[in-house]
Structure 1
């Protein structure tokens, strides 16, 4: 079960108004990377909620049931706020609806092939591992958001705190309802490999499209700067790689990587207002 209380925070962020097309320290590449990731969240987090809620009737542990409801509430607000975020950044350049549809098409094609609810849950566990890794790096590096527009930085820290809080919920449900033994392990591994392809390819594609549509047309220069962000500074992928590989251990659990100190360090910056749990 979770190691910290999962607290849904019903916050609305003020992201519209003046042109903040390079809101991340005036850097169009850093801005486009996070904007490209944001495009995935409204649809993606809705699917995460569906995959976990599908199994709620099979869960008897009252604490895990409470965690499921809090997870759904948090993800519901994340989806709402990133939808508002995406609407705000559309003014900077980029056909957000087309990029969102690209992800939706991938998921719907997979669903037409008849994947099981258990496999969808395994995918959610894998994506939640990605968001937990990125949340850890964002919260652990005090300079990660240096120079960012305050409200954008505030949104990303809020999102990171809540991803850290609920990072084990889908996995705990999986441990209750997923296939056991070698079959379950192999399903979890296959799901992580697919989630890796989807997350990296969609984010990379979104970033390049946003840069091009915002006037940054030097593809090779953009690619070098994206690689620098991922591997050198701040080096998200480099710093997260060991944690990523840990997911492939048979006995893995998300709270083997303890983020409680980071949550405690940052959570008091955000008012906790009640959110109605998703049905």
Structure 2
């Protein structure tokens, strides 16, 4: 997908549409609509409903927590009326607050479902590792004033790759029926003052990434050895694990689908990491039953 692609303003799109969303989650309780707090879902549905002049319900690829950001949240909705691609994108953005934007809209088949057809979800956790507190990036990265050993953090994280019971890293209020997840990869790297935890799995438990990062920072500070996460994983007990890292450093950067859906490709976010040059869907998925099942399911 070219970065500057003209939006068609002649052909009306109806039926099931997929859209790519970017948002700053600082002001929201998370993605999911709630009665008592502002949510990203409610804002997106309100904006699309204004464009359609009819109620619109949106389904997303993965719910994000309070304060968590997204640069490629995939969602879908069934358009009740025809509007051009330009009208859907520009119309929605004209009715969205400044911290949420629709990046693209594309038609998909009725068998597409943003959540149930996702093969993997990918996040990047950004830590600004410097003595002084951040100013311009204070809402997009977590500040750690203590020196971190990114190589030790990376080594400690490798025990998590594969299919495991992640009970030690799930929130107490997690509603998932099973603590088992398949972690495709987790990489920790340093880029100047930035320490980045890049992690992908078939799905994640509530607070799973933030709890993993909390433990990794303990390793990075030298307070625990590189076997720390392996020991926590074996315990299967969240009450004996580490702190939960803040939500502001977490970015939902990709949701991966079978190539037949032909969703637009774009550079992986957040913009802080644009220099890395990676685009969505460039990495091969592991050969595992979950991926094969999702690809073959009707």
Tell me which protein shows more strand as a share of its residues.
2
Q: Same fold (TM over 0.5)?
A: no
Indicate the TM-score class for this superposition, using the shorter chain for normalisation. Answer: under 0.3
RCO (CA 8 Å, sep 6+): is it higher in 1 or 2? 1
TM-score in terms of structure 1 length: 0.24
Tell me which protein shows more helix as a share of its residues.
1
